[in-house]
Amino acid sequence: MLTIYGVYRSRASRNYWMAEELGIPFQSVPVIQASRLENPLSPDAPVNTMSAEFLAVNPMGMIPAVKDGDLVLHESLAINLYLARKYGGPLSGKTVEEEGLLGMWTMWAATEVEPYSVAVVRIYDRSQENTDAGKAGIAVACRSLKRPFDVLEKHLTDKDYLLGDRFTVADLNLAEVLRYVQTEQALFDSHPNVKTWIERCQSRDAYKAMQATRGREPV
């Protein structure tokens, strides 16, 4: 059985969503971010990213990580590509060319989008969005995201999803990266194809199931 290490309020959400999409059984091992604890090394601290038992799984001390049999994987987006390839179905690539496109869009999400979407969500996490510094940081991130949004807007002109007419792991990976910046409504309003696409992705039952569990976790 697949074991997912991490909490839903982390990048592990991508893997929980993917497991729900695939309909595969999985075990969730909650591992909280050490930064959320006053003393993560305290004997009575919950299992966290600095705990010895988790560092034995991922020496980098980052969530998520997964175990699938004897295989241990880190990096949330790569984990989803692996799960798509292993379990197949419509979320996976049907041809070598499609596999290439799934990898391309996933890497694009990681390199061209996530640095800026994460910058935005961190400002909100620190409750700095209404400070001068926070507003400036959000503005810089949104300016940096304009070109990727423009590219994605054009690509989706005649497509429901990244590869055309079906939802794939690439849509899931990119939608989760872009979720971090959905607070910036103007960015999506000015790119209606992107806005419609992400709403379509987030209307899926598996996404709703993931978010329902996420909503029950402590903030």
Mean pLDDT by groups of 10 residues along the chain of 219 residues: 97 98 97 96 96 97 97 98 96 98 98 98 96 98 98 98 97 98 98 98 98 95
Per the structure, how many domains does the chain have?
2
Residues in the chain: 219
Judge whether 216 lies within some domain: no
pLDDT at residue 149, rounded to an integer: 98
| Under 8 Å between Cβ of 134 and 128 | yes
83 and 6: one domain?
A: yes
61 plus 44 within the same structural domain = yes
Q: Does 202 fall in a domain?
A: yes
Structure tokens of 160? 């429901």
- Indicate whether 83 and 100 sit together in one domain: no
Residue 219: predicted pLDDT: 85
Q: Is residue 215 part of a domain?
A: no
Contact 62, 76 (CB under 8 A): no
From 88, 116, 141, the end of a domain falls on 88
Tell whether 219 is covered by a domain: no
The answer to whether position 106 is within a domain reads: yes
68 DSSP β-pair partners: 2, 71
Question: Is 159 domain-assigned?
Answer: yes
In a domain? residue 111: yes
Whether 58 and 112 share a structural domain = no
* 9 and 44 assigned to the same domain: yes
Does any domain span residue 43?
yes
| pLDDT in the model for residue 54 | 98
Same domain, 111 and 193: yes
Taking a C-beta distance cutoff of 8 angstroms, is the pair 50, 25 a contact? no
Q: End of a domain among 59, 88, 117?
A: 88
Asked if residue 81 and residue 101 are part of one domain, the reply reads no
User: Do 115 and 60 lie in a common domain?
Assistant: no
DSSP H stretches of helix in the chain = 12-22, 52-55, 76-87, 96-108, 114-125, 132-155, 169-179, 185-189, 192-201, 205-215
What's the CATH code of the domain at 14? 3.40.30.10
Which residues neighbour 110 within 8 Å (Cβ) at sequence distance 6 or greater? 77, 177
- Could you tell me if 7 and 63 lie in one domain? yes
Range of the domain at 106: 96-206
Judgement on whether residues 109 and 146 belong to the same structural domain of the protein:
yes
Q: What is the CATH number of the domain that holds 103?
A: 1.20.1050.10
Residue after which a domain boundary falls, among 51, 71, 88: 88
58/17 same-domain check: yes
Query: Both 71 and 126 in a single domain?
Result: no
For residue 95, the one-letter residue type is T
